Structure 1
């Protein structure tokens, strides 16, 4: 099936309903049907396997295409028949292919539920278990991805922790974050810069209203997300519409200190329109999804290079302050937070190209500015000299990855943690030092390594772990910490050392490794080096 067919195909999608499949379709070998669950939108039925009931492709919002492009999401029309929830729903249109076999469509407001609830004829899955609910928001910046990745399969996590796991699809890239309010005097685009975030708010409202029917506790909802998913979580922490819809938050290698300002977002929207050669809003709404995506290839007018950035906007409607500037958003100070990163984030950004392991000192100096990309405006030769003093045993490539990690993404994680500490609502901070077994460990602890460790999807496609006893032990530690945090707002438990919140000036950080240990201000000298210059959130 070609990409355009996948983008336009709607045959599997009922208007206003969940995924409709023929009886028995989509059941994996050995799986059994789950009981029928009644949601606020209608009745649904999933499948049970490995002790967990799985409901895929549950519709939480109406089709966002056609006349509703750029508009806030709305609830779907209710349905009357029992809908089979056996296959993932469509993902937002995006550059690239998406997951294998995945449908791409503007009709993409679907979520997935894994629950270990005990079924009976009288109550279905509403067994009164009041289990913590772990809602995962996928990464891919604000541009790509879906909740249907094998890495995010919630079976192992739900079973290990007796928790309910939810993953979510929502509008991405220009479908979710194209800010048109200053270009068109039309109320239908007033919220266009943040509709992707508003989709997530609607999904959380669905969880609040329905998760008890799946054995979950709507008063103990934890949001967690990696990379772009973590940034979305941080942004939701500053959105009044999301207030009260979640009760713990965890960002994994993904931060959002500031949102895009309205003028930069307008410049980007204009560049997007110019790339398409469109000036009329009606024509923009009518453009097929594939053609619409071509606007993302515009040169970003703010960064001066690369494709045009799309992300949340300070639009003074759904977002009226930055998430962590000038301080941590007050509305979420009562929400316990975890904030994590990996020791070698940028080793995961080079496509595991072994040539990057043999850089020269001159190449490091010439390449570092591209990694900093205006986040940190500092002389790269000064940075390299400092790292050579700090770590005389580091190779040029070691310095490159360490410095680019510290300047590119770690700095924002520090800001989040420090602002929480200053407000008296500290976060539990972690750093993954455990080295991926890939290629004998040469990639260290790269970006995304913590996903499979938390979900327990160690052998899934995209995992940087494996089925070895070392991987299993590391996964058990991280899974248990996240489960404990979802349950109580505190990640402490028997499989990790005592974990103290992050306070100043100690900066307590759980360093996940074998063994794990709590450390004060790990990599403190690197932190101080980059404190010489201000940090700018990319895209803002």
Structure 2
């Protein structure tokens, strides 16, 4: 989920959201060499910090179903119990920590280990400036302390881990769902409780993977001095390379967890969806994306020139804050701690990193041309948007009355079953009220929805349709049954479909929305959506008997909604 930039920054970001137009100038040989470099990166010897839980020679998967041997070494996970019906493996390292000399380098596959490694706790979220969808300063989880991390450095550079969830059965050749979190490619973490994969894995009978990847300036930086003749380093797309490396690990180890490596659905939301599209066009992930589920995001890139200009601004800001260091440029940035670098970005309002970069090696120079050429013609796509995406981003247009700190506190402590006397005017400034007046909050949010989300979604799906893809499906999520005043302030807001997709209605950033009164309808809607995902990842179509109607292909959209008791479906071709 993105946390939008404010002020003038948003204007620059919106202006650059559509396709890049430069031609494909990178020679084919360069792409082949880049692919070879990434696939041939060596595996280092076993680490001394391996958690010892017994000899690898004693691994007998039949005795403990969570004790498995990966390509890197044996791991033991958790049996989540009969009520959950799942096994999980958390915090599996798929790459070496990108610290020290590995900062702003392509991910190096993690060194192998011989002894059993415990994979029972989530790994740290990646270093980022704290926002609503960031981890707590206390660790990779969601609690009230998240508010204390707002605009502060949170997370760790040592963060390249992934998590695996699967049904606690002996079934094999299960579909695999590889989920990429959102956050403007600046924030987010795989341990967010919304992304807990247990219910999705059990209900879809699939192997569900959630992944951490470098975000912000650590994930995307194109600067003079990077590269050293290595086209992957020079690309600046370190977060994208992390995802390629993680996807390769999943592809190589799918059978270990009972999954089918020939049936991997790459799913992501918001910036995660942008990354899904990026993996679809990147030559480095070609053949590993069998199906795609991009939610609230489309194919969006930044030019090398804009990325270089951003890097120059960061270097200037760092030098102004650290004049006595005697260093400059990339040397200065490398010398700063991760937290100090984040502080520079926040102070100078430079934390809206340009991503993904159309560098010509990792990401084609004209990715839309590649998409239209047919690289994704045979990849079924299930895309989605929420009706009122833009209502998450009131801060970007100055619509919120409370500070982010106070708004987070209010929403975290709000009891949806005892809403009290809170009103819309407590949350929105007067100039946006009433919400349905011309130029009011509904109109302002609708403009953001189209400009940032639905427009780019149309561009991406239309490009695939022109390529000849005949397996394109789209939904519009209209559910807005939150207790007042959140039904007007947020409604069918960006990312509120995620708790329905994962069936996680416990404590998370949207907890204010889920009351006992609206529970029957939302649970039925969640079950319906998961049934569609199950059919899609299995057969390439979201159609199933429970819909009671035909899910027509793009440009039609299936409208998903429910009142407090019953599902309400519709259709639209609004473009």
What TM-score comes out, normalization by structure 1 length? 0.78
Q: Secondary structure at the match of 1:447?
A: coil
1:329-369 Cα offsets, whole Å, 9 max, x none, are 632221111221111111122377634657547999xxxxx
Q: Secondary structure at the match of 2:236?
A: helix
- Could you tell me which of 495, 498, 507 is aligned with 1:460? 507
Report the equivalent of 1:317. 361
- Could you tell me which of 240, 262, 265 is aligned with 2:304? 262
Distance 1:340 1:329, change over 3 A: farther
1:263-302 equivalent positions in 2, closer than 5 A: 263-277=305-319, 278-297=327-346
Q: Is the 8 A contact 1:252 1:339 kept in 2?
A: yes
**Within 2, Cα distance between the matches of 1:359 and 1:326?**
47
Higher relative contact order (CA 8 A, sep 6+): 2
**Within 1, Cα distance between the matches of 2:207 and 2:450?**
35
Report the equivalent of 2:262. 219
Q: Is the 8 A contact 1:19 1:58 kept in 2?
A: no
Mapped pair 1:36 → 2:36:
no
Mapped pair 1:114 → 2:165:
yes
Report the equivalent of 1:404. 448
Distance 1:144 1:254, change over 3 A: same
Q: Is the 8 A contact 1:170 1:196 kept in 2?
A: yes
1:464-489 Cα offsets, whole Å, 9 max, x none, are 44561111011111111112111111
**Within 2, Cα distance between the matches of 1:482 and 1:329?**
27
- Could you tell me which of 139, 145, 158 is aligned with 1:102? 139
1:141-156 equivalent positions in 2, closer than 5 A: 141-156=184-199
Mapped pair 1:348 → 2:392:
yes
What displacement does 1:285 show?
Answer: 2.1
1:10-159 equivalent positions in 2, closer than 5 A: 16=47, 20=51, 34-49=65-80, 50-96=84-130, 98-100=134-136, 101-102=138-139, 104-118=155-169, 127=170, 129-159=172-202
**Within 2, Cα distance between the matches of 1:475 and 1:218?**
27
1:281-337 Cα offsets, whole Å, 9 max, x none, are 34432321111223423767xxxxx64433111112211234435854632221111
Q: Secondary structure at the match of 2:484?
A: helix
What displacement does 1:190 show?
Answer: 3.2
1:205-252 Cα offsets, whole Å, 9 max, x none, are 111111211111111111111111111111111101011112111111
What displacement does 1:444 show?
Answer: 2.0
1:397-449 Cα offsets, whole Å, 9 max, x none, are 22222233222321111111222222221420111112142436323210111
**Within 2, Cα distance between the matches of 1:485 and 1:102?**
34
1:427-466 equivalent positions in 2, closer than 5 A: 427-439=472-484, 441-442=487-488, 443-463=490-510, 464-466=513-515
Distance 1:111 1:17, change over 3 A: farther
Question: Aligned Cα RMSD in Å?
Answer: 2.8
1:363-374 equivalent positions in 2, closer than 5 A: none
Distance 1:197 1:450, change over 3 A: same
Q: Secondary structure at the match of 1:76?
A: coil
What displacement does 1:60 show?
Answer: 0.8
Q: Is the 8 A contact 1:17 1:78 kept in 2?
A: no
**Within 2, Cα distance between the matches of 1:150 and 1:200?**
21
Report the equivalent of 1:171. 214
Report the equivalent of 1:510. 558
Q: How many residues align?
A: 456
Q: Is the 8 A contact 1:458 1:471 kept in 2?
A: no
1:475-490 equivalent positions in 2, closer than 5 A: 475-490=526-541
Q: Secondary structure at the match of 1:313?
A: coil
What TM-score comes out, normalization by structure 2 length? 0.73
**Within 2, Cα distance between the matches of 1:83 and 1:361?**
54
Q: Is the 8 A contact 2:265 2:290 kept in 1?
A: yes
After TM superposition, the structure 1 stretch with the greater mean CA deviation from structure 2, 432-441 or 69-78, is 432-441
Flag structure 1 segments of 5+ consecutive residues without an equivalent: 1-13, 24-31, 119-126, 301-305, 365-391, 528-540
Mapped pair 1:470 → 2:514:
no
Distance 1:179 1:508, change over 3 A: same
Report the equivalent of 2:464. 420
Report the equivalent of 2:229. 187
- Could you tell me which of 194, 201, 205 is aligned with 2:244? 201
Q: Is the 8 A contact 1:313 1:319 kept in 2?
A: yes
What displacement does 1:498 show?
Answer: 1.4
Q: Is the 8 A contact 1:432 1:450 kept in 2?
A: yes
1:34-60 Cα offsets, whole Å, 9 max, x none, are 531000000000111221001100111
What displacement does 1:114 show?
Answer: 0.5
**Within 1, Cα distance between the matches of 2:76 and 2:521?**
38
